[in-house]
Amino acid sequence: MTGLVARVGRVRELGIALVLLLVVAATALANPRFVEAQNVRDLLLNASIIALLAVGQTVVVITWNVDLSVGSVLGLSAFLTAELAAANHGVPVVVALLAGALVGLGCGVLNGAIVSLGKVPSLVVTLGTLYVFRGLDYLVAQGNQVNAGDLPPELLGFGGGRVLGVPNLVLITLLAVLVAAYYLRSYRSGRELYAIGSNPGAAVLAGIPVGRRIFGAFAVSGAVAGLAGALWTTRYGTVDAAAGTGLELQVVAAVVVGGVAIFGGSGTVVGAALGALLLSTISSSLAVMGVPAFWQQAITGALLLAAITVDRIVSLRLAAALRRGTARGGHDG
């Protein structure tokens, strides 16, 4: 049955990839410049931050939780990283990125502690901390912004840099996807996250430390969002307290469109990253074709509803297949 679940996941990812190729091909027919090297790099860059956030979000969602605070965590981390770099021009890029990740880790630890120890629904907790972290961001900023001219050239150069033609931000996102995918597939604690999302009660009876795993999932989500905030600074340079506002909705949409079950228990970070790339590509494609912004948002919403519907249908059929397999196993026994 584990093989059946894995095959379903691969089919979902393949479906997203095929839709992505169709969107790119259709847009290229209308405007051949859409597939030029520079435009492809821009597409990947535009999706990189959302895809990175989707990695952390996936780790939380598969446990039957959600983190709505990621946009605010990114904003707080971006501003604090920018202030740190502006005040210390000699700070290495790696230190700036680690500082951003640590800010996010602190936010994630707070979320995880309240959810796991306080037994408060994650939707309520992270909706509250979304405003708390954003308010803290505005308090720190005091109406000011950090301009690109205030930042060290090395930091800005990293945000615009490439390795073999591939942007640094894309490479970091790809590395995060690969590491998270390997962890969730190969480590017992990673597989336990799926067990928690599939049936929290059964996970407790099986001896899985549910509270500790959920706490860890939120810590990871926060650290990833903090890293994304630091990368936001390296890319855009100018940062104010509004950075990242509303990104949480795009991240949840990417995760769900990418085949991660909103009720936990299934999905992959690869699918979530593909979902982020698909939504970003569709947005760029519609803009190239001159479609009004309202319709771009409407189409994104329609895709989200379709993804949830498909996920529900697949989940029901998979559950039925699992029941049939269990019944046959009992009969053979």
All structural domains of the chain, each given as residue ranges with its CATH number in brackets, are: 2-327 (1.10.3470)
Query: How much is the pTM?
Result: 0.89
pLDDT value of position 4: 46
Quick one: DSSP state of residue 265?
S
Q: Distance between CA 129 and CA 122 in Å, rounded?
A: 10
pLDDT value of position 1: 43
Cα–Cα distance list, 207 to 64, 112, 121, 204 (Å): 18, 20, 22, 5
Tens-place pLDDT, residues 79-100: 999 999 999 888 999 999 999 9
Contacts (Cβ under 8 Å, ≥6 apart) of 166:
41, 44
In the chain, what are the helix, strand and coil shares in percent, each to the nearest 5?
80, 0, 20
Spell out the alpha helix ranges (H) of 210-289.
Answer: 210-236, 247-257, 269-288
pLDDT value of position 311: 66
pLDDT value of position 48: 94
Q: Distance between CA 215 and CA 116 in Å, rounded?
A: 6
Extract the residue ranges of the chain whose pLDDT is less than 50: 1-2, 4-5
Q: Distance between CA 11 and CA 274 in Å, rounded?
A: 13
pLDDT value of position 194: 93
pLDDT value of position 107: 97
Q: Distance between CA 141 and CA 12 in Å, rounded?
A: 42
Q: Distance between CA 333 and CA 98 in Å, rounded?
A: 54
Tens-place pLDDT, residues 244-287: 998 998 999 899 888 888 888 888 999 999 999 988 888 888 88
